[in-house]
Structure 1
């Protein structure tokens, strides 16, 4: 298997993934079997197309899985857009995709729309994440923030927020905010656990592409942002992560739940009819569940206990 953590830390994750295997691999030497291939390598060669969309937070895991799967089933094309959790669900509801990546649980209104559209689905949790608050590397005053500090900073109250408003010993400089867009599951999660559904500061720059947020913080000493843990790890040489309530996000604190309240689950929602009717999609989802834990760890997230992946595989098998 490729060293995906090294790959992620030396290249930016793109804003869209269109990864498949068609043609180029046929002229190269066959890949050696690896333990990550699971049972898929012993199955018949498949052909077909699989389409997904959704969370940019889940994207690094999906990118790694799709690239590795291309070496196993090189006639299956898997294309995955990154339009945010909410945007991904919109396409899922419209019947445009086979699966939808999500960095939050599906909302009741999305469930209702899927039911109205006649789309049955299955939820698969594939990893855990610690939503990371980051500042510029040259920021030498912020080390730790409380949840109350975050509320004071990020909730719109009609004032121009300055660092000195949070701590009078900090600079009297305006804070520059970067946030995931409103279609992002990361935004929704932050809205739920930090903002309590109050308005986000109006001065914030919003983007569904986490790389835009990374670059914004890299370029401004007074900037602050929040996004998935893997994006921080990929850029930790140029960003500074902030402790929340005295706890830094790490694999250990995310897995234990000590990094609270910003630890969260990551999901893939799969269309049941596509799993039953498209062998290529079923095979890709099987590969995903067999390898998601290792891929999650490789790109900077936290794997689930093996029994959770086993349950997901059992749920998948029941749909075959």
Structure 2
């Protein structure tokens, strides 16, 4: 099992664009059918969030293991990049997102006759990381984090943020502005005190979380942020900071994200199937499979590193999905 998880980790880390015809790994206790040879066939195109990408990869691999006539094309494009360039133009069947779809994205979809169906699939703990040698900092306040990433203040050294920190240049790594993680960070941190504050642009921006890990690992004075799943696979390479939202520092973990203690950086994760695509049996069955397994500790928590849905959340999401499938088939 350890070797299988390692190979999956390396696969996800090495992927930069499209993964076609996924190879099959693992099995799950929550099967939605009796296995392959059931006649399901077709291609499923998925783009969007790099944060949700490892979860969609895990679900896709397992589904294909049960339904070998179904192929997947998976892309890690960022939430916004996926909506703008793939989903709303009608080029993909699903868009993964680490924040809710925005009104302008809904309008762009509507112009092309694309109706998104919002499905919550997990909870993430957005994680702030520093170099392992950064022994002067173990926690950071929401205010300090906002100052550090402020496009208005743009501090140049650690000491500019906190006088007790080193007078050394900040080296910043984070997601690009196509990322839902970037959007969420702005709302949760930068807009916590002032809704007009912008995100600084003098940083190393990327849609590849492994690049953020590498950058922070390589510099004593670096800092970055990303989804918890990528940090959880690299805890030996970088250090996560506890976040102080006014009630004392809280470390990111599945437990603190689930309880809500890890505020304000706990967040829901989504996938958005295109309603009309749900009229196709193989796409509807994959959407059902994902929600059926959204409560799986084995897949969502142990393998990928997010908080699974509870039974009530799963039931709510399945009701929304079944209603959308029924509407897709009746139109």
TM-score (norm 1): 0.91
Structure 1 residues 37 and 20, CA gap change in structure 2 (3 angstroms): farther
Counterpart among 52, 56, 75 of residue 46 in structure 2: 52
CA-based RMSD:
2.3
- Structure 2: how far apart are the matches of 1:293 and 1:5? 19
Structure 1 residue aligned with 2:19:
18
Q: Is residue 2:294 matched to residue 1:300?
A: no
Q: Is residue 2:270 matched to residue 1:267?
A: yes
- Structure 1: how far apart are the matches of 2:150 and 2:17? 30
- Structure 2: how far apart are the matches of 1:162 and 1:302? 35
Check the 8 A contact 1:155/1:200 in 2, yes or no. Answer: yes
- Structure 2: how far apart are the matches of 1:206 and 1:86? 15
- Structure 1: how far apart are the matches of 2:290 and 2:200? 38
Structure 2 residue aligned with 1:28:
none
Q: Is residue 2:105 matched to residue 1:110?
A: yes
Structure 1 residues 4 and 164, CA gap change in structure 2 (3 angstroms): farther
Question: Which shows bigger deviation, 243-252 or 62-71?
Answer: 62-71
SS of the residue aligned with 2:19? strand
Question: Which ranges in structure 1 are unaligned for 5 or more consecutive residues?
Answer: 26-30
Question: Which shows bigger deviation, 202-211 or 95-104?
Answer: 202-211
Q: Equivalent residues in 2 for 1:122-133 (5 A)?
A: 122-133=117-128
Q: Is residue 2:316 matched to residue 1:316?
A: no
Counterpart among 239, 247, 250 of residue 247 in structure 1: 250
Deviation for aligned residue 1:33: 6.9
Q: Equivalent residues in 2 for 1:161-240 (5 A)?
A: 161-196=156-191, 198-240=197-239
- Structure 1: how far apart are the matches of 2:317 and 2:44? 19
Count of residue correspondences: 312
Check the 8 A contact 2:294/2:308 in 1, yes or no. Answer: yes
**Deviation per residue, 1:145-196 (Å, 9 max, x gap):** 0010011111023655211122222211011001100000000000111112
- Structure 2: how far apart are the matches of 1:80 and 1:242? 31
Q: Which has the higher contact order (CA 8 A, sep 6+)?
A: 1
Question: Which shows bigger deviation, 72-81 or 161-170?
Answer: 161-170
Structure 1 residue aligned with 2:292:
290
Structure 1 residues 119 and 256, CA gap change in structure 2 (3 angstroms): same
**Deviation per residue, 1:185-223 (Å, 9 max, x gap):** 000000111112522223211111111111111111111
Structure 1 residues 56 and 258, CA gap change in structure 2 (3 angstroms): same
Q: Is residue 2:148 matched to residue 1:153?
A: yes
Deviation for aligned residue 1:233: 0.4
Structure 1 runs of 4+ aligned residues shifted over 4 Å read 1-12, 31-34
Structure 1 residues 41 and 307, CA gap change in structure 2 (3 angstroms): farther
TM-score (norm 2): 0.88
Question: Which ranges in structure 2 are unaligned for 5 or more consecutive residues?
Answer: 327-331
Deviation for aligned residue 1:53: 0.1
**Deviation per residue, 1:70-128 (Å, 9 max, x gap):** 21011100111111000111111100000100000010111112222221221110000
Deviation for aligned residue 1:5: 5.3
SS of the residue aligned with 2:147? helix
